[in-house]
Amino acid sequence: MVKGKVIEGIPASPGIAIGVALKYEKLKPKILKKELKEEEVSGEIEKFLMAIERSKSELRKILTLAVEKLGSKGAEIFEAQILMLDDKTIIDKIIERIKGEKLNAEFIIQDEIEKYIKFMQGSGDDYLKERAHDLEDLKNRVIRNIQQQKWLSRFDTSRIVVAENLTPADTILFSRNQVLGYATDLGGMTSHTAILARALKIPAVVGLKEATKSIKTGDLVILDGYKGILIINPEQDVVEEYQNKIKRIAEFERKLEDFKFVPAVTIDGRKVTILANIEFPEEVNEALESGAEGVGLFRTEYIISNGTIPEEDEQFEEYFKVAEKVYPYKVVIRTFDVGGDKIFRDYHREDNPFLGWRGIRIGLDKPEILLSQLRAILRASVKKNVWVMFPMVSSIDEVREVKKYIDLAKAQLKEKNIPFDENIKVGVMIETPSSALMAKEIAREVDFFSIGTNDLIQYTLAVDRGNETVAKIFQEFHPAVLRLIQFVVESAQRAKIPVSVCGEMAADPYATVLLVGFGLDELSVTPKMIPEIKRIIKTIKFKDAKRISKRALVFKTQDEVKNFLMKELKGIIPEIEI
């Protein structure tokens, strides 16, 4: 029994922090409506333009810090914010209104930008709702600079920052002060706080709802980024329990170093290939240094900068750079999975984007985009270590149609005498219930399967994992999900094609045993999880994993499955729960 007030949220970045809370309340600028005299208008416009320049200067400094901590690709959010401040349409509109209405700049900015914010918040699109926070941050930054107010993001000693919400700038700037952890009332797994905290390797719990109402600066708190809880003013025995847990985790992580570069083979000889999921080319080195035997998922959406898809040559250079680094291991390049929570310039707003125009649907509707990317991928395959994979497939018709485009892309390259791998492996992501249930038929059309458990769970259970209201019913051990995975694996085995899992489930130590037992050939995980997954596989017998996975399929609820796994695996792998 945990003593102290416990608030449950969403585990956004793993780790445990024990320390003093800093309740961060960012004051919103006070805005009054003030009428201007004719002779004051030009000075007001000048004040507005100077505030824009000061805001850009601040963001450039933050961008420099972000690049230092996250790399250039991880810092793109700040480049995007700087570009937003260069948006001539909005700037001209504000200047026009200051001139026409003869009102102060702060009032006009507030009124004009709020229109965009309200539209985005009411869009029903989680991605646009999240981006509304960016616009709110920019609006407040410009107004603060007009009013020449200072903003403090420094504090003397390490703290656990507790806030209603944190902007990207907040998250980065606080990290300068060796922040211990982040806890926010708002946010989900896809919020900026969550994404940046994971990149910075700082523990974080989001979606706590009313943590700021229960906490004050100076309170002792424990932030558990594994379980997604915040404990306020815990008793000494709870503090000691968590201090011991931190020591055990540190010792455990030291031991994992021994498993990085050994093959993942069960005690009775079953080999499972462990690959890495990467989002940016810069992550390849980390993947290989963690012991990855290749890249099982190379997401290509990062290359879409400010909504614009680059030309074929630029794409080729990016893909080839990764293929060359990974060689002789393979890299599985996924074609653009835009839509849903990722957008590009031609994307139109939809009431339900996750059930709309996304993934392979966009590629088939926009063949010029698909063909350009396919030619770039094919050109990058000259060393014969590149596989290509298509996302969000929901029917066999889509598979057959996209294969025609591969043939066309090959023909176009042959015509220009450009070399590529004639026998490049072609696969699909199984991440919709329809593709899972049609797996037998689809398996005859492709060279491999990769099960994308994140979306498969979302679509099977009709739950958005990024929505903090329903995130707790996003259940990777739900019997329906497990039965679909087993069916897909069996279908692949009958067709004699390899099958992998590349969702976050593959990095869950409990799920590892189930997936091995189902017969997965490969697991593709975040690089930092590779040593632990290898350790677990080397600790079990394949026959035990098969027995456990078979038994897990008979249960009716996730809780029953998890309780069974905890009991079974404690006997086989005593260290699995730290």
* DSSP code for 274: E
> CA 260, CA 266: separation in Å to the nearest integer?
15
**What would the two tokens of residue 24 be?**
């961060």
Q: Is 233 annotated as a binding residue?
A: no
Closest-CA residue to 58 (of 134, 131, 150): 150
What is the SS3 assignment for 341-403?
Answer: CECCCCCCCCCCHHHCCCCHHHHHHCHHHHHHHHHHHHHCCCCCCEEEEECCCCCHHHHHHHH
455 is in an annotated binding site: yes
- Which of 133, 192, 348, 478 is labelled catalytic? 192
Residues β-bridged to residue 202: none
192 is catalytic: yes
The one-letter amino acid at 557: T
**Spatial strand order in the sheet of 181-184:** 5-8, 229-232, 220-224, 16-24, 160-163, 181-184, 204-206, 10-13
Q: Is 358 annotated as ligand-binding?
A: no
Provide long-range contacts, Cβ within 8 A and 24+ apart, for 119-126. 123/349, 124/351, 124/352, 125/349, 125/350, 125/353, 126/188, 126/190, 126/341, 126/353, 126/464, 126/466, 126/467
Instruction: Assess whether 478 carries a catalytic annotation.
Output: no
Neighbours of 40 (CB within 10 A): 15
Q: Tokens 């026009």 belong to which residue? A: 96
- Give 311's Cβ-side CA count (13 Å radius): 2
**Terminal CA-to-CA distance of the chain, rounded, Å?**
17
Which pair of structure tokens corresponds to residue 104? 């102060």
Helical H segments across 102-218, by residue range: 105-121, 126-146, 168-174, 192-200, 211-214
Phi, psi of 222 (to 5 degrees): -115, 125
Q: Supply the DSSP symbol for 326.
A: H
> Residue 334's CB: how many other CB atoms inside 10 A?
25
Which one-letter DSSP state was computed for residue 429? E
Give yes or no for a contact between 210 and 162, defined as CB atoms under 8 angstroms apart: no
Q: What is the dihedral angle through the alpha carbons of 98, 102, 104, 105, rounded to the nearest 10 degrees?
A: 0
270 annotated to a ligand binding site? no
Establish whether 306 is an annotated binding residue.
no
Q: 133, 348, 478, 502: which is the annotated catalytic residue?
A: 502
**Inter-CA distances, 258 with 19, 342, 531, 532, 538, Å:** 31, 38, 8, 10, 12
- Is 568 annotated to bind ligand? no
| Catalytic residue numbers, as ranges | 192, 502
User: Known binding site for phosphoenolpyruvate: residues?
Assistant: 299, 334, 454-455, 465
User: Known binding site for Mg(2+): residues?
Assistant: 431, 455
